[in-house]
Chain A
């Protein structure tokens, strides 16, 4: 009975989705996107239009998104906060080679992540991708050394400071140009296709990168280390 019901539901969904197939023609940018493409460089000086859209034109949306990510991490920490009944993650200790290798790779990976989010306005990449790379570096460290503890005070300080900086940058736009997160007149826009260009765009994307990196690191640490005996770190951040 349940199988038949599922099958009927899937067939209906398939028919509905199949009606989207004729839309698979090459599309031209709409009116708004046309404006972004034509005036993106003169308004923001950022070469990467996706970054301009995410950080500037739809910066408020990104602020909400970073908040959603924070809430989901806090929610996961809250769900896994109590230790009773939770099976800890067991693994045999890793070898000396793995531990040394992970420690050596940690710094280059962090630098690579920072490179990705510093150059977000020039090339593909940005705060979210760079943050993910930073979090994977932290993950490598946690996997290699099971007794490693993250500096929770520093992480939560960095995370809050990045979020606060984002809002402050937005408020600076409100003061100077009259609209939240505006890019006009807050910082010099600079020259197109240079590292120091784009006004507040690199500043915000670096803050987003720091915030996403710390949030994802804490999330991975919560998933791995909550429920360990004599553990006071699980979820308390």
Chain B
């Protein structure tokens, strides 16, 4: 089980680095959403199902949506 945790944590950190390094804002927003989703798995592992639900619904769902709307309204290419 610890190896699955290790894998998830590794992917989380890699997605975060990718989000900050990516030139494309849409993919960066989606990667931040993926980080939230994997963190919600970690919340389940530490027996916090309430927090995991909130993180998945709000952190990974709604907040990614709001990011995508804002990106759409401000032009998608980034420097």
A interface residues, how many (CB within 8 angstroms): 23
Chain B residues 16 to 53 lying within 8 A of chain A, measured CB to CB, are 48-53
Interface majority SS (helix, strand, loop, mixed), chain B = helix
Task: Point out the residues of chain B lying under 8 angstroms from A133, CB to CB.
Answer: 57
Bound form: Cα–Cα A48–B50 in Å: 9
A50 within 8 A of B: yes
Task: Point out the residues of chain B lying under 8 angstroms from A116, CB to CB.
Answer: 53
A44 to chain B, nearest CB (A): 16
Task: Point out the residues of chain B lying under 8 angstroms from A129, CB to CB.
Answer: 50, 53-54, 57-58
Selected A-B contacts with CB under 8 Å, 15 pairs: A51-B50, A87-B73, A88-B73, A89-B72, A116-B53, A124-B53, A126-B50, A129-B50, A129-B53, A129-B57, A132-B58, A136-B61, A136-B65, A220-B62, A223-B70
Taking Cβ atoms with an 8 Å cutoff, the residues of A that contact B are 48, 50-51, 87-89, 116, 124-126, 128-129, 132-133, 135-136, 139, 216, 219-220, 223-224, 227
Q: What are the 10 closest A-B residue pairs judged by CB atoms, nearest first? A: A124-B49, A132-B57, A50-B50, A129-B53, A223-B69, A124-B50, A132-B58, A129-B57, A129-B54, A89-B73
Taking Cβ atoms with an 8 Å cutoff, the residues of B that contact A are 48-54, 57-58, 61-62, 65-66, 69-70, 72-74
